[in-house]
Amino acid sequence: MIRLAANLSMLFTEHDFLARFAAAAEAGFRGVEYLFPYAHTPQVLRTSLDESGLEQVLFNLPPGDWEGGERGLASLPGREAEFRDSVVEALHYAEALDCPRVHAMAGLLPPDADGGAREDARAAHHACYVANLRFAAREAAKLDREVLIEPINTRDMPGFFLSRQDQAMAVLEEVGEPNLRLQFDLYHCQIMEGDLTRHLERQFSRIGHVQVAGVPERHEPDIGEVHYPALFARLEALGYGGWVGCEYRPAAGTRAGLDWGRNYGLLP
C-alpha cells in the first residue's frame, strides 16, 4: 500500500506551521516532510509529531542563505566547512525526530559563468559535491541514517547543479556509499526528461524516497499530464516500501483537493 506523507511546507498552509501536524493527521496522512525544521527546537517538533501520531520521514539540510536565493551548499566550493556544520545540525534533528533520511541540496552554479568558464565551474562543483556527499553519508551511517540527493528541474530552480537522473546516478556511483540514495521526484523528472516509468524501473534499487505533484502547475497529482495511479501501481509491483511525499501546492485549499488520495487513505 502506498504510504503518503504530507509536505507541510506546501500543504495545510491555511494553518500556522505547528498546527499543520494535527491537520495532516486529521486528513489521513501518517507521515510528514517539510523543507527545514530549524526554526523550531527538536523538542517542539517531537511533541507535535507525538501528539499527532505522525512519523517524520524527510527534511533538508540547512541550505545556506535561503532568503538570499541560495539553494543548498553541497556543491559549493569554498563552503565545505559550512556544509559539514550543516550535516552535524541536520543529523542532530534527525536523531531527535527519529527521521531516517535527510536531503542534501546541491546548490546553484555561478550565474555569470558561461562557455568554458561554466564548464570549469561545473567541474569544480562536481568535485566538491562528491567529497561533501561522501562526508555526509559516512557521518549519517554512524547514526543509521540515509542521505538523499534530488535532481531538481531548472525551470523552477534555474542554475541548480543537479538536474538530471543520469547525473544523479553517476554521482551515487562515484561517491560509493550505500546509504547515499536518490530522492526521485516525479514532478521534476517529468519536466526535465519524462519517461517516468522507465526511469523508475532503472533506478529503483537506488531510490530512497519518492515525491509527487501535478505537472506543469505543481498542483494536486490528479491535475495535469501525469497519470499517477499507473505510477503508484508500478511502485507497488516493484515492492516499494518507502514513503511518497506530497510536495505540491493545492489549487484551492488542502482538504478540498484531497479526493485524489482517497484510495490511499486520505480523507477529503
Query: Is 150 an active-site residue?
Result: yes
On whether the CB atoms of residues 160 and 154 are closer than 8 A, the answer is yes
Tell which phi-psi region holds residue 28, choosing left (phi > 0), alpha (psi between -120 and 50) or beta.
Answer: left
On whether the CB atoms of residues 250 and 219 are closer than 8 A, the answer is yes
Q: How many CA atoms lie within 13 A of 28 on its CB side?
A: 17
Query: Is 14 an active-site residue?
Result: no
Name the nearest CA neighbour of 5 among 13, 21, 85, 17: 21
The one catalytic residue in 33, 55, 150, 220 is 150
Residue owning grid cell 549519517: 140
Dist. CA 117–CA 94, nearest whole Å:
38
Dist. CA 150–CA 79, nearest whole Å:
20
The one catalytic residue in 33, 146, 220, 247 is 247
* C-alpha 189 chain-centroid distance: 13
What share of residues in the chain are helix, strand, coil (percent, to 5)? 45, 15, 40
Active centre residues (catalytic): 150, 247
